[in-house]
Chain A
Amino acid sequence: MDITGKIGTKTVTVIGNITYFWQFCIEVMANIFTFAKNIRIASLVLMRQILFTGFDALALVSFGGFIIGSVIILQGSAIFPNLANSQLMFTILVSVVTRELANFIPALILIARSGTAMTTELGNMVINNEVDALVSMNISPISYLVVPRTIAMVFSLVPLGIYFNIISLFAAGIVSQFLLNVNLADFSIKLFSQLTFLDVFISVIKSVSFAFAIAIISCYHGLKIDFARTEVPQRTSKAVVHSISAVIFLEILITIVSLQY
């Protein structure tokens, strides 16, 4: 095949994959609205996924939140020697932690922990005929496997984002008090004077968008595995790359839109 033919074939394959992915997204979204009908059979999957994706990630998110909050305030103190009187420091703290990192860092943690687990688990299920078994019992793999994982990701990432935010800001306050001698009460008053409802709202919107992107991309790659076990690690790394790319894209998009308000 000549170079033109190869480019043509590749283009057709890419367009086909994109079309298939969007059909998959639409089917997942449609099944989310009818999830209540399937709750009888899918509730166990949902509970297990929330436990694994949300609860089990608390320790890692706490650690990340504490480190980020501490580092920002320590770096800030080098730039703003008179930290207690610097409004700009608190503005930066809210902008960086609440608006950006409180969603981004937990999203990266969940891609690494849960996204990879989803792709691997679903891929192995395909290979072991478990997905075929579901279809043979008239159970839609989308409604039984993908939708509970997507909902669990949303119900995990939103609280984890809020939790990360609290831990980070709390860590910033603690570090300010003990290392920089800034009164915690003063710190809190100045911090909350900078924090608006819009900041929290944007943070939640980002968490929800990231959760959908991570879950759908991870499940898509898991179910795309055909026959060979060697496909599982390949698809898992693809899922990670695509999830991170999607999260960065959404991060930029929502930030640009939110800056208009």
Chain B
Amino acid sequence: MGKLEAKNITLRSSEKIVLYDVSVEIPWGELTLVMGPPDSGKQFFIKTMAGILIPSKGQILYNGINIYDGNIATQKKHDFRCSFVFQNGGLLANLTIYENLRLALDNFFHKMKDDEKVELIQNYLSRYNLPGIINKRPSELSVDNLKTVGFIRALMIDPVLLIMNEPFSDCELNTVDMLLEEIGKLKHRKLTMLVVNQTTANFEKIADWVIFMEHGKIVNKSKSDQQGMME
């Protein structure tokens, strides 16, 4: 068990304050849905939670430790691995799919042997019915496949926190079903997940908590059944 919380986060972007003194605890081992109107700051919030953006004030605490203190060793020491699934996949355009996935493995698993990494990548791609794309570049893939590879890259490093930005937008129904099934399995494994989505669609049954943001502030955090997600 861990405890993850944002404490008094203030974030500036282009001279504008986009997060105002945000404090919230992210329930560990549960799926939290972050919602809000456009420009409510939800994208900034999840990027700050992932350590991609550094707040001008405040901290992200993991078990009371400032986990993004500028030293990667702090995360390693506390066995904290956060993965981020980008809306567009976030794959590096000048690398092949294999090289993209390999980059994540090389960075996180120094002791893993080369053939083990190759096997792991092949296994993941086969599991998601994508074995034929291993040597393709991201520009050759459909939106669905880009998202799926982004999802695979996030899972491969065995994260303790998985953050997803609009995981189903622009996806076909069968891809949505497949990703939902995988997210359901991760939820069953008690992986902590933070998901930004425009609507509650697809998350009615699997979200545990809903955070609602407006104007860079969290205006409501409630259990999903209390929110009345289908409203």
Contacts and interface: CB of A to CB of B under 8 A. Distances in A.
Interface of A: 40-41, 44, 48, 121, 124-125, 128-130, 132-139, 226
Contacts of B104: 137
A242 B87 CA distance: 35
A139 B103 contact: yes
Interface of B: 14, 47, 50-52, 72, 75, 82-84, 86-88, 90-95, 99, 103-104, 106-108, 110, 157
B51 A129 contact: no
Contact of A129 (B86, B95, B107): B86
B77 to A, nearest CB: 13
A41 B90 contact: no
Nearest to A38: B107
A15 to B, nearest CB: 15
B72 A138 contact: yes
Contacts of B95: 44
B107 A136 contact: no
Contacts of A138: 72, 75, 107-108
B86 A132 contact: yes
A137 B99 contact: no
30 contacts: A40-B110, A41-B103, A41-B107, A124-B93, A125-B92, A128-B90, A128-B93, A129-B86, A130-B91, A130-B92, A130-B93, A132-B52, A132-B86, A132-B90, A133-B84, A133-B86, A133-B90, A134-B92, A136-B50, A136-B51, A136-B52, A136-B82, A136-B83, A136-B90, A137-B104, A137-B107, A137-B108, A137-B157, A139-B103, A139-B107
Nearest to B103: A41
A10 to B, nearest CB: 14
A137 B157 CA distance: 9
Contacts of A135: 51-52
Given A41-B103, A138-B75, A128 B108 contact: no
Contacts of B82: 136
The 8 A-B pairs of least Cβ separation, nearest first, read: A133-B90, A136-B84, A129-B90, A129-B86, A135-B52, A41-B106, A132-B52, A138-B72
Contact of B91 (A40, A44, A121, A133): A133
Nearest to B13: A226
A175 B14 CA distance: 58
Contacts of B84: 132-133, 136
A40 B75 contact: no
Given A130-B92, A139-B107, 12 more contacts: A48-B94, A121-B94, A128-B88, A129-B90, A130-B91, A132-B86, A135-B52, A137-B103, A137-B108, A137-B157, A138-B72, A138-B108
A133 B92 contact: yes
Nearest to B54: A135
Nearest to B81: A138
Nearest to A44: B99
Contacts of A132: 47, 52, 84, 86, 90
Nearest to B15: A13
